Amino acid sequence: MIPLILYDIPSKLDGTYWSDNITKSRFVLGYKGLPFQVEWVELPDIAPRMKEIGARPNKLADGEEMYTLPVLSDPNTGALVTDSWEIAEYLEKTYPEKPIFSNKSKGLIYAFGNAVISLILPAAKFPIFRASQILNERSAEYYITTRQVMFKVKISEFSPEGPTRDEHWAIIERAFNTYKEWYDEEVGKWLMGDVISYADIFIGSILSWLKRVLHDNEWEKIVNWHDGKWGKLLADVEKECKKV
């Protein structure tokens, strides 16, 4: 089998990867035991590089198009897939062993992802601010410029210490309280009990992102919630998905 190619965004961090959406694809590839190589693309190079290889842009909520990563190239089939959800679907269909959407759970897991994001999104400016500090210079500049336009506020105002930062922490803690309630509904390590699914990979990717972009003492705060559940869950997902 020829290794697949995952297009990812580098950073200054040890191991380089950091983006939650790209980590989702990384975890699915790892879980299914598929060999892959990474091609690193700095943020301002994504559009030209993706046009070059013929990847399609992503459709944003407002209907506009934008070149985003992850993109996955599979030389075994010729497929070139944009977007973490579509990549998950493609891999499940093409390599059905070790399913991530078992028992017809794809629609439920899609809604689950929406629910996860809607709870944490109001605090996203805090980890986004932190992410702007771990990118390589060219990407950081591009990231800051585009995010300032997106949120209509200067990067220094994204999550200033004080009441704004406190509010972001309160939102993140409430989100994890709710995630905990969901996990408590079934007995077992995973959301669906004894078998990992894309729902756990989704949460694991957000945890990985927070661990990577936040400062160590900030991540420790999350790890201390719910008797260490989230640090343990991330370790379980990483183990199951053979993080490279």
**Cα torsion angle, 191, 21, 159, 131, sign:** positive
Decide if residue 81 touches a second copy (CB under 8 A): no
User: Nearer to a second copy by C-beta: 38 or 108?
Assistant: 108
Among 59, 193, 215, 221, interactor with a second copy by CB under 8 A: 193
Decide if residue 58 touches a second copy (CB under 8 A): no
Decide if residue 36 touches a second copy (CB under 8 A): no
Smallest separation, CB 189 to a second copy (Å): 12
8 Å CB contact between 205 and 198: no
Over its C-alpha atoms, the chain yields an Rg (Å, rounded) of: 18
Among 16, 94, 105, 136, interactor with a second copy by CB under 8 A: 105
Decide if residue 116 touches a second copy (CB under 8 A): yes
Smallest separation, CB 143 to a second copy (Å): 28
Angle 224-232-3 from CA coordinates, rounded to 5°:
135
Nearest one of 48, 20, 65, 244 to 138, comparing CA atoms: 48
Decide if residue 188 touches a second copy (CB under 8 A): yes
- Token pair for 68: 């985003």
User: Nearer to a second copy by C-beta: 175 or 214?
Assistant: 175
DSSP letters along 11-66, please?
-SSTTS---HHHHHHHHHHHHTT--EEEEE--GGGHHHHHHHHTPPPEEPTTS-EE
Smallest separation, CB 231 to a second copy (Å): 20
Which residues contact a second copy by CB under 8 A?
102-112, 114-116, 118-119, 178, 181-186, 188, 191-195, 199
